[in-house]
Chains A and B, each alone.
Chain A
Amino acid sequence: MSETKKFMYVNRKAPYGTIYAWEALEVVLIGAAFEQDVSLAFVDDGVYQLIEDQDTSGLEMKNFSPTYSALGDYDVKKIYVEKESLEERGLSIDDLQHLTWEDEDEDYAEKDSIQVVTRAEMADLFAESEVMFNF
């Protein structure tokens, strides 16, 4: 398929309490093969997905949080986290995983994938996107 669309995956759910976050990530990974213009947004409880040091060993559930750090390898480089959603929850970017991608045009320099944006900026990003997935 030659057509490229602007995809926006909107993540609004916390991990583990329900499966939405994990199965959303599966869509993103599979979707990467279609070479679309992909962005991920984390708003509301979705910001909890990116918290560092998740340990699910006491639950016997798969800890899927390391998968986020592989997103760069799948060419998913635009990860937007909403500032207001973080602040409402008493979180800052320092509480989140440090996600990066390698820029092959700049000798594989490591670049940050996560951008913290305001709600107004997020609204603009949503408005510009062509297809929205909500999880």
Chain B
Amino acid sequence: MSMLHLVNKSPYERNSLDTCVGYVKEGDTLLLIEDGVYAAMSSGKASAKLSGLDVAVLGPDLAARGISEERLIDGVAVVDYAGFVDLAAAKDKVQSWL
């Protein structure tokens, strides 16, 4: 059963992203929200942890933090809250790695 993984913490503060990626399966999507969005910045070393994963980032959280989409690693989808809802509906379940 496919899963939408939510990570809302900076990878430089907590281990939620590390934990999450240990459980990601084929067909899953990882959505970065709140402080989790910092992981997708290409200039940061945590971005390496996302390679090979299907990653989306919540646009309003990026904008609030002053991060333009050009600063993200290649291949991540930027979604709004409606897109967040679509992802939650498209996967079989949602897990928040709080």
Q: Could you list which residues of chain A lie within 8 angstroms of chain B, going by C-beta atoms?
A: 10, 12, 43-44, 119, 122-123, 126-132, 134-135
Q: Is the interface of B mostly helix, strand, loop or mixed?
A: loop
Most chain A CB within 10 A, of B19, B24, B96, is at B19
The answer to the question of B22 belonging to the interface, with a C-beta cut-off of 8 Å to chain A, is yes
The answer to the question of B65 belonging to the interface, with a C-beta cut-off of 8 Å to chain A, is no
- Contact partner of A134 (CB less than 8 A), chosen from B15, B22, B25, B96, is B96
Q: Which residues of B contact A126 (CB under 8 A)?
A: 3, 23, 95
Chain A minimum-CB-distance residue to B95: A132
Chain B minimum-CB-distance residue to A131: B93
Q: Could you list which residues of chain B lie within 8 angstroms of chain A, going by C-beta atoms?
A: 1, 3, 15, 19, 22-25, 92-98
CA distance A14 to B14 in the complex (A): 14
CA distance A37 to B97 in the complex (A): 22
Chain A minimum-CB-distance residue to B25: A127
Query: Given A123-B25, A126-B3, A127-B1, A132 and B93 touching (CB < 8 A)?
Result: yes
Q: Which residues of A contact B15 (CB under 8 A)?
A: 44
The reply to whether B98 and A134 contact each other, CB–CB distance below 8 Å, is yes
The reply to whether A12 and B93 contact each other, CB–CB distance below 8 Å, is no
The reply to whether B3 and A127 contact each other, CB–CB distance below 8 Å, is yes
The reply to whether A130 and B1 contact each other, CB–CB distance below 8 Å, is yes
The reply to whether B23 and A12 contact each other, CB–CB distance below 8 Å, is no
Chain B minimum-CB-distance residue to A12: B19
In the assembled complex, the CB of A98 is this many whole angstroms from the nearest CB of chain B, namely 26
